[in-house]
Structure 1
Amino acid sequence: MGNILVFKIGANCFGIETAYVKSITKNLGWISDEPFPDFASGLVEYNGRKMLVIDLEKKFIHKINVALKGTISSENLLKSPQPPFDKGGFYDSRLLGKWGEEVRNKRVEECHQIEFIVVSFKDGECVIPIDEIVDIFQVTEKDIMSIPAFAVRHMFKNFYKGVFAIGDKLVLILDVSKLLN
């Protein structure tokens, strides 16, 4: 497989092959938050080019924990009206309504503070907002496991190449060729 850049969004760990990573940056100018496909948060400017922001929370994970670590502080979340919860203590991102708009607006305001991975692949380029870089790991084919059944219920399996473990954490390896699909 090769070198995998591992990063976190909330409590979730994702990985991208380093061959697709163009750069990691913080200072991107937010251009627009007009309506975009469900998996996108808007456009940013990077080196004079407009790039689509791919929101992995929106694209892959149907139910996410309320603690949106890194992009919004816990203090700000506590001041916001509470979102609708399901039985498991999670909220469904499709049911957020006004609270979701407040979260989205806060993310736009803090865009210059968020860390982004700039990804380049055959069909184009995009940026992914992240909470934290974990590290780069050398991963072999024998390290790769299939996606666990419990995880498939909450995401689209065909956007991942597989899973590998770092200690007790599972890292979902993204298939970057399918990010814009």
Structure 2
Amino acid sequence: MREHSWWITYESPYFRAGDFWIGILVGVHWADKRNDTSGDVFNYRETLRLECCAGLIEVGLMVLSVALIMYESENQAVDQFANDILFLPLSAFIVYVFASAKGFVSHLLEKGAMQWLGNLSPYAFLIHVPVINYVHAIAKRTVGTLPIVVWGGISLMITLGLASAYANLTKKQTTERSACMK
């Protein structure tokens, strides 16, 4: 029952392109906010009055995201709505809150390890599905079925390793090209 919904949410390039563009638009707003000298481009503190409870809102949004991911209905239309349509505004709002708020989750995300992980995310996004599929296929042929936590952990480590290697390679090539152009 969830296969059709899964395809639309996870595999469909049209839907994923929409996610990508929403992310770009929210990122542009975030960049505008960061470059504004007043520090409050959206009048965020004045309009929503969230600075006192930003951390609770951040945690609440994350819990809502997990609940939405885990939600399953017998009705396919309800399932598709929960898995497809609700993710777009929720994702945009999560990025907006984390970019604007100063809660403890936002402060955690500003730490070095999280910045490193964020810088790898575009590369990891592009390769994670083939890595997951290869790990699953190799494991199935060699050791049999793996628990999903083990399978996911192995896939995560390989994805991060490959993404890090590719990020370093492209950074090196960009630096070399810049040096040649001078």
Q: TM over 0.5, yes or no?
A: no
| Bigger Rg, which one | 2
**TM-score calculated relative to the size of structure 1:** 0.26
- RCO (CA 8 Å, sep 6+): is it higher in 1 or 2? 1
**TM-score calculated relative to the size of structure 2:** 0.26
